[in-house]
Chain A
């Protein structure tokens, strides 16, 4: 069976002002076949939303092509309807007018528009709200209008771009459940679903396969088949095992994503990176996370931790990564394990914590050594930001180099290894040793 949409060798690069390019996607293949739900899962910077938009025809790929019905897609994909993260409703149109919009644009007559809109609004539980305006509705109901507008089109593929992430936890859970029910009952007015998310449970709950994207540049790392029968329960041990597996894969950016069996899987050892990338984590967050893990007995399941802290993967994982990088924690089988050094860091007073942080930075992050050494060799103890940005530029895109630098400054200031003057854009050596001055 030919796929409904297929992306072939798709790559996307955005030109940067200085002539460089920012590669967002690199040589991506993806098929969406009839009757399946595909989830695109990736951390921020993996280009998952860009891939979705390329397949919808909203963005053109820099190279490669998208095939629809055996023909190359040029322009917007007529067989696609989309549900947007921010709902994308027109505030000045009523619920019904919003829902009808796509049909109106096709020149469908008024009576048919109204009939279709009525059916769709009924499906999402909004009958009686036809003449209301979006601003009179709650967030969950607004997204229901977004779904109704997409349903009315009877698309081949319904694309969802993080459709529940702007909703509060309970509302999201509720709506997700209803969408899942519609699909399971075979009433869903689309042949397939392509879902972009960074919520691992959501991906496992809704989809038939989870395609995992890697970041910088975005590549397809592999896919995980979710063959748990529907309706699915989060308590199901197979469900939990799959979530654990995906967590592990996502915390190890270099690990290979293979065919997964819930009973036994081997973890790939983390290969040494050429130039380790600093995860963009706050020191306070890291410290808080370690403290909680310590209080929970030193080991905790990652999905459980995310649930407990109400954190999305995008927020949790960089913090975990940072703790792992500095040797304060380890990740195994979807669990975080605190190390003795981590325990000390989490429980010590401010001064000792700073000292430990400085020591571990110098030991585990080679680039910090470079910075401290460069500052020491300078007579006046000052170095331009540009100098370090140039080094970072060789390994990262321009934007990422800037973020790396910001994180470096943030960590270095905390550890009192160096100081930074944002007006002059210069790094300063801290007077002699990393002395620890009490904060007034």
Chain B
């Protein structure tokens, strides 16, 4: 819990009351959760499987709760790892100027790399690490989810650390807060809101990677990890609509439950870490209220409070800064030439090795071929953006302009955005087969299934951000339809649209790896593109082609970011900023 370093506030009445229904609910809920975690966790730890024995996924819906629990456990382990990674990486990047110089560009690259292209690398690696055990596959799946979550969260944390208000930073230096105190009293609390929101979005996106990583074929092996994702894969292979239907239902229930019992309480809690002091009403949410009403958590916190205070005190003592070394984030001056030179040399060396490896094994012709495939995928991404914009901008603006519509549709859209698009793939594939649509076109739709929501989300936000005065002015001057869009709405939402489009395009590139090659029973549809290329290379275990494909895709993503998106973003910042 984030609030852990705060002294628990114990209301005197809490001592007088006897155990009430709230305690019963909290207590039973906690026990049930602990039991589930222990049991499900035990399954993946204890059951050893030799690598050539593939765990069987049963299509009987009775098994779904178990599969759902196992998938959920993977998601949460990945979330915990992402959070830890975020703290370490983000903190290091914000605190040391040298680390920052390497870590931040690296993060930028990691963000642009298609995560799914790495599955082959990581699966092989983890299987070798946990030889003869299912843990290797578990680790690979968790790692895939982790890579889908961590970069975003780290960036958010780093940004928050760098933007701690100057006077608060000076206050911490002047009153000589130790590094630990600075972190727990100032830096962490002021990043909590960004971290929670980013974590929530990334977690939603994580289901996609979970589904993709639970059942994959690498190096001519089919690897299956019992879970919701592999259940869908098995149902797809068996052409079992009944099972697919149940899987989708389970997924929806799971997303809703996690939202109610985990994210919303966390968002409500995080609200008290707002930096601005403006008095607003306290946020309420029924889970938080239940927790507050119950007495058990208070007792528990009191119990934990004693050793925690002790720990807090000692960590502060050990991280005390002498006044001669200000702990502020103002980077110290120093010669960085050698450091820079080494950093450049190392990256140039790595690049050279990679290029040489690819060229000596496949040659220039293959590079040209893959680059051409990249163009196909790039045009799909572009097409998708144009199409999604045409469809979703009017809808998003309508929702954003109407508070009633916003309230009504927000939870639905949130659900749709979290819902892993690859669960829908089988239906779309069947539709393509029946209607005789080539996957060359169909894959655009598949990619859009996941990516379009970012666009919609941001357009709604942008429309809500247009001040009411401006809209009234537009009505007053009689700006209608085209004119209203030309002068008011389009410029007003431009910034948000750019943000949405950047995210959507990143998501689409990633999705291309699973969307350009889709199975239905024994049939497999393939589109011409870099995504399918990577996917095929992964299945065959063709290392040079994997490296080439992933490298080229990263290059395309980075190139598009630099050439198109960054410029649009700057334009949005300088010209179309409201207020």
B189 proximal to A (CB < 8 A): yes
Bound CA span A136–B282, Å = 11
A53 proximal to B (CB < 8 A): yes
Q: Which residues 67-82 in A have Cβ within 8 Å of B in the complex?
A: 74-78, 80-82
A215 proximal to B (CB < 8 A): no
A102 proximal to B (CB < 8 A): yes
B344 proximal to A (CB < 8 A): no
Bound CA span A56–B167, Å = 13
Which stretch (B269-277, B283-291, B511-519) binds chain A?
B269-277
Bound CA span A87–B300, Å = 35
Q: Is the CB of B317 within 8 A of A107?
A: yes
Chain A window 14-38, contacts with chain B (Cβ cutoff 8 Å), 1 for yes, 0 for no: 0000000000000000000000000
B176 proximal to A (CB < 8 A): yes
Q: Is the CB of B186 within 8 A of A105?
A: no
Q: Is the CB of B176 within 8 A of A102?
A: yes
A235 proximal to B (CB < 8 A): no
Q: Is the CB of A92 within 8 A of B325?
A: no
B13 proximal to A (CB < 8 A): no
A340 proximal to B (CB < 8 A): no
Q: Is the CB of B189 within 8 A of A92?
A: yes
Q: Choose from A78, A86, A93 the contact partner of B165 (Cβ within 8 Å).
A: A86
Contact A76 to B277, CB < 8 A, known contacts A58-B326, A90-B185, A107-B317: no
Among residues of A, the one whose C-beta sits closest to the C-beta of B277 is A135
Bound CA span A78–B185, Å = 20
A302 proximal to B (CB < 8 A): no
Q: Which residues 96-120 in B have Cβ within 8 Å of A in the complex?
A: none
Among residues of A, the one whose C-beta sits closest to the C-beta of B175 is A102
Q: Is the CB of A82 within 8 A of B273?
A: no
Q: Choose from B174, B186, B317, B322 the contact partner of A90 (Cβ within 8 Å).
A: B186
Q: Which residues of B contact A134 (CB under 8 A)?
A: 277
Q: Choose from B174, B277, B278, B328 the contact partner of A82 (Cβ within 8 Å).
A: B174
Bound CA span A86–B181, Å = 21
Q: Which residues of B contact A140 (CB under 8 A)?
A: none
Contact A91 to B185, CB < 8 A, known contacts A75-B324, A102-B175: no
Q: Choose from B165, B170, B278, B324 the contact partner of A135 (Cβ within 8 Å).
A: B278
Q: Which residues 128-171 in B have Cβ within 8 Å of A in the complex?
A: 165, 167-168, 170-171
Q: Choose from B178, B280, B324 the contact partner of A74 (Cβ within 8 Å).
A: B324
Bound CA span A78–B326, Å = 12
Bound CA span A347–B345, Å = 71
Q: Which residues of B contact A90 (CB under 8 A)?
A: 168, 185-186, 189
Among residues of A, the one whose C-beta sits closest to the C-beta of B274 is A91
A129 proximal to B (CB < 8 A): no
Contact A58 to B189, CB < 8 A, known contacts A86-B165, A92-B272, A142-B277: no
Q: Choose from B167, B274, B275, B323 the contact partner of A57 (Cβ within 8 Å).
A: B323
A101 proximal to B (CB < 8 A): yes
Nearest Cβ on chain B to A319's Cβ, whole angstroms: 25
Q: Which residues 381-416 in A have Cβ within 8 Å of B in the complex?
A: none
Among residues of B, the one whose C-beta sits closest to the C-beta of A80 is B174
Q: Is the CB of A88 within 8 A of B168?
A: yes
Q: Which residues of A contact B9 (CB under 8 A)?
A: 131
Q: Choose from B170, B178, B273 the contact partner of A105 (Cβ within 8 Å).
A: B178
A199 proximal to B (CB < 8 A): no
Q: Which residues 239-291 in A have Cβ within 8 Å of B in the complex?
A: none
Bound CA span A57–B176, Å = 12
Contact A136 to B171, CB < 8 A, known contacts A105-B176, A105-B181: no
A153 proximal to B (CB < 8 A): yes
Bound CA span A81–B171, Å = 9
Q: Which residues 146-190 in A have Cβ within 8 Å of B in the complex?
A: 149, 153
Contact A78 to B323, CB < 8 A, known contacts A102-B176, A135-B278: yes
Q: What are 25 A-B interface contacts by the 8 Å CB criterion?
A: A56-B170, A57-B323, A58-B173, A58-B326, A75-B324, A76-B323, A77-B174, A77-B323, A78-B176, A81-B174, A82-B170, A88-B167, A89-B277, A90-B186, A91-B272, A91-B274, A91-B275, A92-B273, A93-B185, A101-B177, A105-B175, A106-B176, A134-B277, A135-B274, A135-B278
Report, nearest first, the 3 A-B pairs whose CB atoms are least far apart: A102-B175, A75-B324, A75-B323
User: Which residues on A are within 8 Å of B, measured CB to CB?
Assistant: 53, 56-58, 74-78, 80-82, 84-93, 101-102, 104-107, 131, 133-136, 142, 149, 153
